Amino acid sequence: MKRFFGLLLVAVCLFIHPDAQAGFAGIGVSHLSPQCSDYADHCQKMTRIARKLVFENQKVVRYRTVYEKIPTARKVAFCQYIPETRTRQVRYTVHRPVWETHVKTVAYDVRKPVWETRTKQVPYIAYVPHYEERIRTWTEHQPVYETKTKQVPYTVCRPIWETREHTYTVNRVVSEVHQKTVPYTVCRAVPIQRTQTWIEHKPVYETRTKQVPYTVNRPHWELREREYTTHRPVTELRTKEIPYTVRIPVPYQKTIQVKSGRWERQSYQVPGPMVYKRVPVVDPCAAVEPCAETAKPTKFELVKVQSPPVTCFRNVWVPEIRERVVNCVKYVTEQRVRTVQYSVTRLEPEIRVQQYRVCRMVPEQRVRTVTYQVCVKVPVERTRTYTDYEHITEERHKTVSYRVCRVEPEHRVCTYRVKRMVPETHMRTVSYRVCRMVSVERSEPYRVRIMVPEERIKTVRYQVCREVIEQRTKEVTYRTCRLVPHEEIRQVRYTVLKPVVRERTVHGYRIEAKRVPYTVTRKVPKIVFYEVPVQVYSGCGR
């Protein structure tokens, strides 16, 4: 396996580096080939041995395991249960209900409402509107746009090529031819005449008879009787008294208090708002005309004066309590009794006789004549003559030539170019807009309405309900149920599983393993030698 990978590596190196193929011939002429174009008279045509790697197809026989299913059958005995229905007598207890009527006295409480009218002083706060003049000031921000420039650096990569050398090692294959003597064995067959004698048994069939006894089961029917108990239903008509309760309506009148009232329109005054009024101002130092009664005003000024009060109206609810007579109905409970007829069905036991047939198998002995064949083997002697071959081995020798490949390392230099990117920094001018907010103050007058709280007192009438507990009694009729046990008999059918032994055939599979041959084609490396013409520079004067 190592030798195979070594040959594969050599073949890859031959296809990658063409200069390495010339090195296998032992003549380093790859570097002299450019001079032959200038000195054509001093070049000689020669041939060198080249080799290439060829893969040949080789068939190999391998084996794989195949599993085969073989069907099998066997008989298995199993037990099967057949259901059989039977009857039996079961005693059970039935509880019959017996109803009883009872009367008891129950005490209960009645809550009677009693209404009382009361008054109380309730303080409350009334809000009176009041107007004021105020000035509010706010600041607004206005955007102002400006255009500015700035220097932005950016990086550019510039390519630079460099020449480098790489030293590598090539394994050169040198082949040598050797000879060796190989011993081998030859097998030669020699014929020999031999005689064989054996005894063979010849079958002879004879017919015979014999008496075979066997038993036959003959059915025999018998008539039998059996007694069984059944229940016959008997219906009886009975009567019973059932108490029931009737509610009778009784009308009556009662006086109730009804809450009512009315709306009254009341007036109230609200102080007027504060306003500005122009008031004339007279200058006492001014000259007064003799004909004028009063001096004329020379200027006016604004004076804050309260307006006259405003009269407003509102609706106020005045509660009242009135009495009225209401017609009511109350229900009085009355006990009554009614007679009801009902039917009762009871089961009376009755004994009956039933006839049935029973089949009984009676064994009976019989004899029959059976004819059969018997095989008797008679010995017979036989002889035959045959030719046998006896194998004789001989030792011989032969000379075999074989080739040995030896790998020699060789160092070479490869020149290649490398591209390297060098970063450079440049500057560029970028224009952009800047938004700046400028603050501007503004103001405006406005009126504010302020509600001034004012404490007031009002008289409120309200009703209070007080409950008075009153003790009362009443008679309540109720029924109780008492269960009386009663024993009865009934026929119950039940099922019994009867076991029966039977046979069935179970089919299965038996797995057998077999080795099946198959052919695989694989690639085997092989080195092929061939001649290539080359030109070699021989030098001047040679």
Tell which phi-psi region holds residue 230, choosing left (phi > 0), alpha (psi between -120 and 50) or beta. beta
Q: Which of 481, 526, 541, 495 is nearest to 102 (CA)?
A: 481
What backbone torsions phi and psi does residue 7 show, to the nearest 5 degrees?
-65, -35
| CA atoms of 511 and 47, how far apart (whole Å) | 67
Q: Judge contact between 401 and 177, C-beta under 8 A.
A: yes
Q: Judge contact between 271 and 128, C-beta under 8 A.
A: yes
- How high is the pLDDT of residue 139? 79
Q: What DSSP string describes 126-158?
A: EEEEEEEEEEEEEEEEEEEEEEEEEEEEEEEEE
Global pTM? 0.19
Q: Judge contact between 194 and 383, C-beta under 8 A.
A: no
The full 3-state SS of 34-83, as one line of letters, equals HHHHCCHHHEEEEEEEEEEEEEEEEEEEEEEEEEEEEEEEEEEEEEEEEE
- How high is the pLDDT of residue 3? 52
The one-character DSSP state at 542 is -
- How high is the pLDDT of residue 298? 60
What Rg do the C-alpha atoms of the chain give, in angstroms? 70
Q: Which of 489, 433, 428, 367 is nearest to 146 (CA)?
A: 433
Q: Judge contact between 368 and 210, C-beta under 8 A.
A: no
- At residue 393's C-alpha, the angle toward residues 391 and 394, to 5°, is 145
Within 10 angstroms of residue 171's Cβ, the number of other Cβ atoms is: 13
Which sign does the torsion angle of CA 322, 323, 325, 326 carry?
A: positive
Q: Which of 488, 479, 478 is nearest to 98 (CA)?
A: 479
Q: Judge contact between 22 and 533, C-beta under 8 A.
A: no
* Six token digits for residue 417: 């170019």
| CA atoms of 301 and 281, how far apart (whole Å) | 7
| CA atoms of 39 and 37, how far apart (whole Å) | 6
- How high is the pLDDT of residue 30? 37
**Three-state SS for 285?**
coil
What are the CA-CA distances from residue 70 to residues 64, 75, 421, 467, 473 (Å)?
Answer: 19, 17, 76, 102, 99
Cβ density class 370-383: b for 16+ within 10 Å, e for less? eeeeeeeeeeeeee
Q: Which of 46, 49, 51 is nearest to 534 (CA)?
A: 46
| CA atoms of 389 and 191, how far apart (whole Å) | 4
Q: What DSSP string describes 179-219?
A: EEEEEEEEEEEEEEEEEEEEEEEEEEEEEEEEEEEEEEEEE
| CA atoms of 458 and 266, how far apart (whole Å) | 14
| CA atoms of 306 and 273, how far apart (whole Å) | 6
- How high is the pLDDT of residue 23? 39
Within 10 angstroms of residue 24's Cβ, the number of other Cβ atoms is: 20
| CA atoms of 318 and 321, how far apart (whole Å) | 10
| CA atoms of 55 and 12, how far apart (whole Å) | 13
**Number of alpha carbons in the 13 Å side-chain half-sphere of residue 491:** 13
Which residue carries 């600041």 as its tokens? 139
Chunked mean pLDDT (size 10), the chain, 542 residues: 51 45 37 44 71 85 83 82 84 81 82 80 80 79 80 81 81 79 77 79 80 82 83 84 86 85 84 80 54 56 82 85 85 86 83 82 84 79 77 79 78 80 83 79 79 82 79 83 82 82 81 85 84 67 40
pLDDT, tens digit, 9 for 90 and up, residues 95-126? 778 888 888 888 887 777 778 888 888 888 87
- How high is the pLDDT of residue 41? 53
- At residue 69's C-alpha, the angle toward residues 67 and 74, to 5°, is 145
pLDDT, tens digit, 9 for 90 and up, residues 199-244? 777 777 788 888 888 887 888 888 888 888 887 888 888 888 888 8
- How high is the pLDDT of residue 480? 81
The one-character DSSP state at 167 is E
Q: Which of 412, 336, 369, 11 is nearest to 173 (CA)?
A: 11
Run of H or E including 21: helix 19-23
- At residue 511's C-alpha, the angle toward residues 508 and 513, to 5°, is 170
pLDDT, tens digit, 9 for 90 and up, residues 39-67? 455 566 778 888 888 888 888 888 888 88
| CA atoms of 292 and 70, how far apart (whole Å) | 154
| CA atoms of 515 and 61, how far apart (whole Å) | 12
Sequence-ordered list of residues with C-beta below 8 angstroms from that of 401, at least 6 positions apart, any chain: 177, 178, 179
- How high is the pLDDT of residue 9? 54
- How high is the pLDDT of residue 20? 40
Sequence-ordered list of residues with C-beta below 8 angstroms from that of 158, at least 6 positions apart, any chain: 421, 422, 423, 424
Run of H or E including 473: strand 310-537
